[in-house]
A and B are shown apart, each in its own frame.
Chain A
Amino acid sequence: MTDVHIGDAVRRVEDQRFLTGQGNYIDDINMAGQARAAVLRSPHGHARINGIDTSRAEALDGVLLVITGRQWLAFGMGTLPTKTGVRKGRNDTDINEPPRHCMAIDTARYLGEPVAFVVAETQVIANNALELIDVDFEPLEAVSDAVKALAPGAPRLWDDIPNNLCIDFELGDLEGTEKAFAEADHVITLDLENNRVTAVPIETRGCVGSYDAATETYTLYNATQNVHANRDMFAENVLGIDKQKLHHVAPDVGGGFGAKNSAYPEPPMVLYAAKKLGRPVKWINTRSDSFLGDTHGRGQTSRVQIAINNDGTFLALRTETVGGIGAYCWTIGPFTPTGGSARTQGGPYTFPAMYYRGRAVFTNTAPMDPYRGAGRPEATFQTERIIEYACRKLGLDPVETRRKNLMPPEALPYMSPMGMDIDCGDFPLLFERTLEMAAPDTFAARADRATKAGRLFGFAIAPYLECTGGAPKEYAGVQFKEDGAVTLAVGSHSTGMGHETVLPQLLAARLGIDFDRIQFTQADTDATPIGGGHGGSRGMEVGGNAVAQAADEIIVKATPLAAHLLQSDAAKVTFADGSFSDATSGASVSMTEVIEASMDQEPGFLDTGATFERGVISIPNGCHAATVEVDPDTGAIQITGYWVMDDFGTVINPLLADGQVMGGIVQGIGQALTENIIYDDSGQLITGSLMDYGLPRADVVPNMVIDYYEGAPTKKNPLGVKGAGEAGCVGALPAVVNAVLDALKGHGVVHMDMPLTPEKVWRAIRDKGAHDPEALMRDAC
């Protein structure tokens, strides 16, 4: 019998090493004879490179190698392509994809873009050498704001790309939406900003590369979330080698949240240098450079419009978004403001018609790539903000109006106008339960107490609709060892989510074997033939189902052997709770015994590699609610309560699910209140350190109450799971912002853009909410 089950809050096995300082992160890896690398980054947002003189750097004692962009090109190195799923725009236009080299060649297009690469005996020497590289920069006019970049006469990043437009995408029913707008009692319009933020995993990126001349094979240890996909790009696209010649491994990775998904430029340079020098090369990013060169997220300016009747019935939703994606098409950069933000528009409400237009625009800023949610937080924010705003404008009750328009369970399955196959769930139930947890009957007393203390009480509820994403296929390999150990290798990737615990938990529960015997491997291109890594809340949905499928295949293989041991017929033997039994004879044999028997008969017979492929993406959903208190004298906000009901389908390990939700919410709170990436007009980053970029700390976040609805497991996959990783971030933005605006309703404040800094709140109160709802997109719609 097994000691763990699906649904158990199994404590994590990886904790032991992390708690005792025995984790093995990228900077903990040192190889004999390794040299150290440093990257010279553009100090300009936009500049022509007229020449680079590396002679002084090369003359520095201990410098081993200096590479410039021109040299890199001369080595025959290829470009990194985008993997965006959206490649066609409106009117059948193609995406504009300019070449993305690992280094700037003739022009640097964002602050922090690699301009030269140095390898030296020590890090100090490498860093000193950067200062001895003389670059003849000719600063060019820059544009960091995406709406401005679209305007006629804006500086161009690419000569052959008019209006800096990467892609102009649309989805939905324009005609139906326009018709509904014409017929509705009201059309309410609101322009809003979804502020640019960055993930800031506490571990910065880094890698250690080596080359074995005898086998002509590279090895790359890399703090990445995606070893297989990035191996392919580094090997085939950049270095021009067979992918079998690059062994890509991620050690323990200290957080990612999307910012370690991308194919970054530094690893190929490290690999090139390792081969050239015949010794391992190590590169570890600094926090300061992480702000410049790590991918950013969100950063959208939108016009959202709702068609709504006097009785609060929603008729249509229309959103037009402009998203700055940086200077290049990063790994899936163009997808987020286009397809990524379109899909879950409208949330769990009935909108008979919807239309979305998203333009991805080149800007002189750091690259844009996934950040926790990648489009769904944006869509949810747009939907929930326009609903709240319309309620305020029309004097409708926000709770009642939402309740009225939620899709009823009997309407499911439902194909949304945005093409989402919403198969199951109970949105009204989750809404009511969340409301119940927040205890609205206590609000009057709480508001009263706040008023007595000179503060303003506010509440908001925010249902959300999510969808999974990321690579659709996943592999799980199980091997049984003679000593009783079981190895499980999976191509999905945990950077903190706990796969090392939950995937063995799943295997142990499914097979009824000892959890402790399972040894887990991930993030190694030699360990699994394929791997989709991390992203899109796919861990349980795709990785978990691959494990479940492997377990099921093992059971099938083991059944004849069990029948033999039971002296029965395979057709009569059934498997349940870790044992095979023959109902007729009443005899049974455990899976563990069958595995042991297989070792005697045919070792390896039960070893199984299973590939699971998702058919249709899942639809996690749920509801957030928050209460806040605002100090009107200073504008300071305190979140005083936070409640969530999530429908993730089957919850394999609720402890780990809680962790995902809490972390996601707090990242959302950070974006809503303090985090902000600000560039000036010349492309200089104003918030480039933790002194200026406000990450949430322990003393500003609330306790969160989280519960799950498991009454609607999806039939889209055998486990019935829907994905949990990003949902917290998806629901938090509107819950927090709308609660603050609720607190300020007595002052006439109807809208503020994130982050809701104390000064912004104070000004909004002082200005009695004076606000132009069409200020941001007037020139872009």
Chain B
Amino acid sequence: MEDFSYQKPKTVDDAREAYSASADGLFLAGGQTILPVMKLGLAAPSAVIDLGGIEGLRAILVTDSVVSIGAMATHATVAASGDVRQAIPALSDLAGMIGDPQVRTRGTIGGSIANNDPAADYPAAVLALNATITTDKRQIAADDFFVAMFETALEEGEIITNVEFPVADAAAYAKFANPASRFALAGVFVARTGNSVRVAVTGAGTCVFRVADMEAALAKDFSATALDGITVATENLNTDIHASAEYRGHLIGVMAKRAVEAAQTKGGGK
């Protein structure tokens, strides 16, 4: 790994300034993706600005209608939060499925969605629950946030401060994991709020995406059988040694049904 200057600012403003002042700066959240990337020499920033010293970015606040998770809240914290589990159990479940216990100790929601790995779990929850991403500059709707593989609506130097998830009436996440890496080969997050249903898919395409046909069918009839016959076009799905686009397309259907079934039985919040 190439060496770099390391800074640990105490405020978001200081972090932004440190970033602006650096030639080739990089924000460090939990580091569970970027540090392995740097170790392999695939990224070599001149400055690393650690967001871990900023007060308040780890807070988790739950009201009747919103679960607000600080950008630096770790997956382990979210998975273990009784408040989150009571409000949106699917979100707790998802956080507990990310990586492994050690990754969950360090990895953060802000880091995960800012990175927007096509096989990461959190983007599915953010998109399906129609979350709002708050940054140091603005609020971004989930539908506008995830742009393309490893690409988001974040501008240069913009810092996520928290993610607000509206509490859904029923939600669940079903993940089929890559047996080697344990990333999602296909993960489907289904959320129903009133008569509105959102279905978000991760792992299968180049970027998390919604499935309009499934959403429409589930809005009419929130049951697994409502998804019978609905297929996902496979031309934009990933093919690699672990799974073909065709298989991923099939898995989306299976996982969507399983998510709906889980949401019906145990996916309701308070």
Chain A residues engaging chain B, CB cutoff 8 angstroms = 288, 633-634, 636, 673-674, 678, 686-687, 690-695, 700, 757-759, 762-763
A694 CB, min distance to chain B CBs, angstroms: 4
Other-chain residue from A634, A694, A758 in contact with B180 (beta carbon distance below 8 A): A694
Contact B179 A692 (CB under 8 A): no
Contact A678 B180 (CB under 8 A): no
If the complex has contacts A759-B247, A762-B247, are A674 and B241 also in contact, measured as CB distance less than 8 A? no
CB-defined contacts of B180 to chain A, threshold 8 Å: 674, 687, 690-695
Contact A687 B241 (CB under 8 A): yes
Contact A692 B250 (CB under 8 A): no
Contact A692 B254 (CB under 8 A): no
Choose among A686, A690, A694 the residue with the greatest number of B CB atoms under 10 Å from its CB. A694
Report the bound CA distance from A392 to B11 in whole Å. 69
CB-defined contacts of B181 to chain A, threshold 8 Å: 690-692
Other-chain residue from A288, A700, A762 in contact with B179 (beta carbon distance below 8 A): A700
Report the bound CA distance from A27 to B251 in whole Å. 43
B105 CB, min distance to chain A CBs, angstroms: 18
18 contacts between A and B (CB under 8 A): A288-B40, A633-B254, A636-B176, A673-B179, A674-B179, A687-B180, A687-B241, A690-B180, A692-B241, A693-B180, A694-B180, A758-B176, A758-B179, A758-B243, A759-B243, A759-B244, A762-B247, A762-B250
Report the bound CA distance from A692 to B179 in whole Å. 9
Contact A692 B247 (CB under 8 A): no
CB-defined contacts of B251 to chain A, threshold 8 Å: 634
A698 CB, min distance to chain B CBs, angstroms: 11
B214 CB, min distance to chain A CBs, angstroms: 16
CB-defined contacts of B254 to chain A, threshold 8 Å: 633-634
Report the bound CA distance from A687 to B69 in whole Å. 36
Report the bound CA distance from A674 to B243 in whole Å. 13
Q: How many residues of B contact A (CB 8 A)?
A: 14
Report the bound CA distance from A636 to B242 in whole Å. 13
Chain B residues engaging chain A, CB cutoff 8 angstroms = 40, 176, 178-181, 241-244, 247, 250-251, 254
If the complex has contacts A633-B254, A678-B241, are A694 and B179 also in contact, measured as CB distance less than 8 A? yes
CB-defined contacts of A695 to chain B, threshold 8 Å: 180
Other-chain residue from A634, A694, A763 in contact with B176 (beta carbon distance below 8 A): A634
Contact B176 A692 (CB under 8 A): no
Which B residue sits closest to A631, measured CB to CB? B254
Report the bound CA distance from A686 to B179 in whole Å. 16
A40 CB, min distance to chain B CBs, angstroms: 14
Report the bound CA distance from A759 to B178 in whole Å. 11
CB-defined contacts of B247 to chain A, threshold 8 Å: 758-759, 762-763
B270 CB, min distance to chain A CBs, angstroms: 30
Report the bound CA distance from A693 to B181 in whole Å. 8
CB-defined contacts of A634 to chain B, threshold 8 Å: 176, 251, 254
Which A residue sits closest to B253, measured CB to CB? A633
B256 CB, min distance to chain A CBs, angstroms: 12
Report the bound CA distance from A633 to B254 in whole Å. 7
Report the bound CA distance from A757 to B241 in whole Å. 10
CB-defined contacts of A691 to chain B, threshold 8 Å: 180-181
CB-defined contacts of A762 to chain B, threshold 8 Å: 247, 250
Report the bound CA distance from A694 to B178 in whole Å. 9
CB-defined contacts of B241 to chain A, threshold 8 Å: 678, 686-687, 692
Which A residue sits closest to B100, measured CB to CB? A697
Report the bound CA distance from A716 to B179 in whole Å. 44
B115 CB, min distance to chain A CBs, angstroms: 15
Which B residue sits closest to A680, measured CB to CB? B241
B139 CB, min distance to chain A CBs, angstroms: 34
Which B residue sits closest to A694, measured CB to CB? B180
Report the bound CA distance from A288 to B180 in whole Å. 15
Choose among B40, B176, B179 the residue with the greatest number of A CB atoms under 10 Å from its CB. B179
CB-defined contacts of A758 to chain B, threshold 8 Å: 176, 179, 243, 247
A690-B181, A759-B243 known, 12 other contacts, Cβ within 8 Å? A634-B254, A673-B179, A678-B241, A687-B241, A691-B180, A692-B180, A692-B181, A692-B241, A692-B242, A694-B179, A759-B247, A763-B247
Report the bound CA distance from A338 to B180 in whole Å. 32
B251 CB, min distance to chain A CBs, angstroms: 6
Report the bound CA distance from A732 to B178 in whole Å. 23
Report the bound CA distance from A636 to B247 in whole Å. 12
Report the bound CA distance from A693 to B182 in whole Å. 11
